[in-house]
Amino acid sequence: MKIIACGSVPTIVAPEKYFTGKVLQTPIIEKEAPARLRATLVSFEPGARTHWHTHPLGQTLYVTAGAGLAQTWGGPIEAIKAGDVISFAPGEKHWHGAGPNTTMTHIAMQEALDGVHAEWLEAVSDEQYGG
């Protein structure tokens, strides 16, 4: 058994090259090979969001607080809220983040394929975000 004490892993400001707006990330777990799991607590301020991205083995989000938005490429923008579970298929281009007037926090869970958890793409424009 391994216990990771609360507060022993620092929260970071998410890099601007992957996110728009203020986003905080707190790592939960990153297993070493042969395991592949990475989980992160991600908190978005109003209007903040990821860039478009994909995951080689898919991604699952569990919204823990607030309300936000998520969209797959070519699909409608969907409202998400605390308690929702969102699942993206392997290679599915998508984004997710807070609503324009609300904060949103989720746990992001994905597995790595050959050490890669995500492929980051272009920013979600204000026009795309606004629907």
Q: What is the CA radius of gyration of the chain?
A: 14
Structure tokens at 110: 């994905």
* 105: its two tokens: 């926090």
Share of the chain above pLDDT 70, in %: 100
In-domain check, residue 7: no
**How much is the pLDDT for 59?**
98
Q: Is residue 16 part of a domain?
A: no
Give the pLDDT confidence score for residue 34 in this predicted structure: 83
Q: Scanning the structure block, which residue is given the tokens 């994909």? A: 54
18 within a domain of the structure (yes/no)? no
pLDDT for residue 87 = 98
CA–CA separation, 131 vs 117, rounded Å?
A: 28
> Is residue 61 included in any domain, yes or no?
yes
Per-residue pLDDT tens over the stretch 19-69: 999 999 999 998 888 889 999 999 999 999 999 999 999 999 999 999 999
Structure tokens at 6: 């609360």
Structure tokens at 17: 């090259």
Give the residue-averaged pLDDT of 97-125. Answer: 97
Domain of residue 36, residue span: 26-130
- The predicted-structure confidence for 71-84, as pLDDT tens digits, reads as follows 999 999 999 999 99
Token digits of residue 77: 């923008």
Does any domain span residue 10?
no
CA angle centred on 88, ends 84 and 91, rounded to 5°: 165
DSSP helix/strand/coil, 11: coil
In DSSP terms, 30 is beta-bridged to 38
Neighbours of 104 (CB within 10 A): 27
- CATH number (domain holding residue 98): 2.60.120.10
Residue 13 lies in a domain: no
Q: Alpha-carbon distance 16 to 93, whole Å? A: 19
Q: Determine, yes or no, domain membership for 31.
A: yes
Is pLDDT at 131 greater than 80 in this prediction? Answer: no
Alpha helix (H) residue ranges in 36-123: none
Q: How many structural domains does the chain have?
A: 1
117 inside domain: yes
Residue 55 confidence (pLDDT): 98
